[in-house]
Chain A
């Protein structure tokens, strides 16, 4: 597959609706354009593309944390209500 074909796949990812995927696809597309313009060398491009994966992992861990946080608030809220009854 060519660079342009991969970029086309990235553009399709923008329609996914998942903010982690959309953000990663946008960044990957911007970096690819920068590499094509010669603003980034091959090694720098690869390093920054790896960062996209790392940032997506961070977002995924944060989403897990936020889900637990909501559950914590709900559980403790229910416990407080139960203790008042």
Chain B
């Protein structure tokens, strides 16, 4: 097996570390999958509630709590740096919306576009988290 890995390391343009990362890939984690699915589903629902400013402020706070939880959950999972990095970006998108609601009223269209961004990013991340090796 080691000989095979060494051969693959020589014939692929990837570095040894990337090859090892790929070989020892983190397995499917149902908790991680549930967290990102919740974020996607909530963003989808919250988008429709944007005309209600008070409710949307609460929703923005809640979804940022979820993206932060997901970021922290991913943080110490070994060989998971791509999802860790993506979860940081997702949290920044949600944090920006929550921060704005804390400062001043937010327009309905901005609220919808922000929840759209969260939903689309979560959907993309959900697809790779769900396809982790079992």
Chain A contacts to B: CB under 8 angstroms = 34, 39-41, 43-44, 47-48, 50-51, 54-55, 57-59, 61-62, 64-69, 71-73, 75-76, 78-79, 82
Contact = CB atoms under 8 A, between A and B. Distances in A.
A44 B89 contact: no
A75 B23 contact: yes
Interface of B: 1, 4-5, 8, 12, 14, 18-19, 21-23, 25, 82-83, 85-86, 89-90, 92-93, 96, 100, 106-107, 109-110, 113-114, 117, 120-121, 124-125, 127-128, 131-133
Q: Is the interface of B mostly helix, strand, loop or mixed?
A: helix
Given A55-B120, A62-B125, A40 B110 contact: yes
A72 B25 CA distance: 7
Contacts of A64: 82
B86 A61 contact: yes
Given A55-B120, A57-B85, A75 B5 contact: yes
